[in-house]
């Protein structure tokens, strides 16, 4: 991967959760390119190992580990292996997260007649689905931080980077649980930044806007490559009138992790969104 710029992470150990996924595997790759020894954690052991092997093939240091960000014992077991194989954690990227269909309404606006039809309304949202999304995004940020931030105590130059979202500032339609959970992640980022400030641990978050990934490509573009209605709405609400590019996320990550560039920045949630969060629509 071509980096927008490089920072020196030689001698650092970076732990990335959700690293089998699209965005966080790119982040892990970039960290390794900057010299960090990278631990890729994912619920899916195969993808974590596969992505790590891809990075290691380039001569960088990267290992894959199975870990569930919702189970302290699983995190502890992964941590033990990482300490043996790579060393104590200096950088934690809390990347695991996502939404669930059980916590998603079918329509943007409620209409009384939907109650009679085959439409999933706000009233049909299931507690299990809502709890799944809150747990994955919020508890899934808190537990890995409890496990890995202990390594950072007493070191002075360490970083925690959470992954929030556009919907944390203003909720996107249909996904109340995901929006609320990411708002909690942003709030927690500020809380942790204050709590760890005297220990020299900076805590920030990225809030990605809209990036075309394998996951959402079919929602954004039809088979013939023409944009869907949702793409039209997103681009109309994005003053820069385009989707984000992965390297723009990587550049923001490296900036926040760099002691030289961002050594006085802690507790920020950085939108990378082409102006989406600043635009009122008028
Ligand atoms: P993704 O679905 O490609 O990757 C998520 C990874 O997390 C998957 O590999 C999955 O196996 C793993 N995971 C799921 N549950 C887990 C658990 N309990 N323990 C450990 N790992 C688990 O998602 P992505 O698009 O790369 O998103 C990464 C982060 O960025 C998420 O927090 C997401 O909410 C956030 N985000 C994504 C976008 C986007 O446009 N894709 C926008 C804003 C924010």
**Pocket flag, ligand 1, residue 20 (CB < 6 Å):** yes
Nearest residue (by CA) to ligand 1, atom 14, is 96
Confidence at residue 216, expressed as pLDDT on a 0 to 100 scale: 76
Ligand 1 pocket: which of 15, 17, 18 to mutate (most atoms <8 Å of CB)? Answer: 18
Residue 43's nearest CA partner among 121, 116, 95 is: 95
Laid out side by side, the sheet with 13-17 consists of 62-66, 37-42, 13-17, 91-94, 158-163, 201-208, 269-272
Q: Which atom of ligand 1 is nearest to the CA of 98?
A: 34
Task: Provide the token pair at 136.
Answer: 């994955």
228: CB partners within 8 A, 6+ apart? 219, 220, 221, 222
Confidence at residue 129, expressed as pLDDT on a 0 to 100 scale: 97
Q: Which residues are catalytic?
A: 178
Average pLDDT of span 156-184: 96
Class of domain 13-276: alpha beta
Whole-structure pTM value: 0.96
Distance between CA atoms of residues 48 and 25, nearest Å: 8
201-208 and 158-163 beta bridge pairing = parallel
Ligand 1 pocket: which of 15, 19, 23, 77 to mutate (most atoms <8 Å of CB)? Answer: 23
Task: Provide the token pair at 270.
Answer: 């950085």
Q: Assign 218 to helix, strand or coil.
A: helix
Summarize pLDDT for 190-214 with one digit per residue, the tens. 999 999 999 999 999 999 999 987 6
Residue 215: pLDDT band by 50, 70, 90 thresholds? low
Question: How far, in Å, from the CA of 39 to the mean position of ligand 1?
Answer: 16
Q: Which atom of ligand 1 is nearest to the CA of 206?
A: 44
Confidence at residue 184, expressed as pLDDT on a 0 to 100 scale: 98
Q: Which atom of ligand 1 is nearest to the CA of 136?
A: 18
Indicate whether 50 pLDDT > 90.
yes
Average pLDDT of span 99-107: 94
Question: How far, in Å, from the CA of 112 to the mean position of ligand 1?
Answer: 34
Average pLDDT of span 126-151: 98
Indicate whether 218 pLDDT > 80.
no
Residue 117: pLDDT band by 50, 70, 90 thresholds? confident
Confidence at residue 39, expressed as pLDDT on a 0 to 100 scale: 99
pLDDT > 90: percent of the chain: 92
Indicate whether 219 pLDDT > 80.
no
Indicate whether 267 pLDDT > 70.
yes
**Pocket flag, ligand 1, residue 47 (CB < 6 Å):** yes
């Amino acid at each position: 991967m071509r980096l927008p710029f490089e920072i020196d992470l030689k001698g650092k150990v970076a732990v990335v959760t959700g690293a089998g996924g699209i965005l966080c595997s790119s982040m892990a790759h970039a960290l390794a390119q900057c010299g960090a020894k990278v631990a890729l954690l994912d619920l899916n052991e195969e993808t974590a190992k596969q992505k790590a092997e891809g990075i290691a093939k380039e001569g960088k240091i990267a290992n894959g580990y199975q870990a569930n960000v919702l189970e302290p014992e699983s995190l502890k077991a992964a941590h033990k292996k990482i300490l043996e194989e790579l060393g104590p954690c200096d950088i934690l990227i809390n990347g695991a997260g996502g939404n669930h269909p059980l916590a998603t309404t079918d329509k943007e606006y409620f209409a009384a007649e939907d109650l009679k039809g085959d439409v999933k309304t706000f009233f049909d949202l299931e507690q299990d689905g809502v709890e799944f999304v809150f747990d994955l995004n919020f508890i899934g940020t808190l537990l890995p931080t409890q496990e890995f931030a202990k390594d950072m105590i007493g070191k002075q130059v360490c970083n925690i980077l959470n992954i929030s979202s556009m919907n944390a500032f203003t909720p996107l339609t249909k996904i109340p649980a995901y929006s609320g959970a990411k708002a909690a992640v942003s709030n927690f980022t500020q809380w942790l930044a204050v709590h760890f400030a005297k220990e020299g641990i900076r805590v920030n978050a990225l809030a990605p806007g809209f990036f075309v990934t394998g996951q959402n490509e079919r929602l954004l573009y039809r088979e013939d490559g023409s944009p869907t209605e949702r793409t039209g709405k997103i681009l109309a609400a994005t003053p820069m009138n385009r989707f984000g590019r992965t390297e723009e996320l990587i550049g923001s990550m490296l900036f926040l992790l760099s002691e030289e560039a961002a050594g006085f920045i802690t507790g920020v949630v950085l939108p990378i969104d082409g102006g989406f969060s600043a635009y009122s629509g008028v």
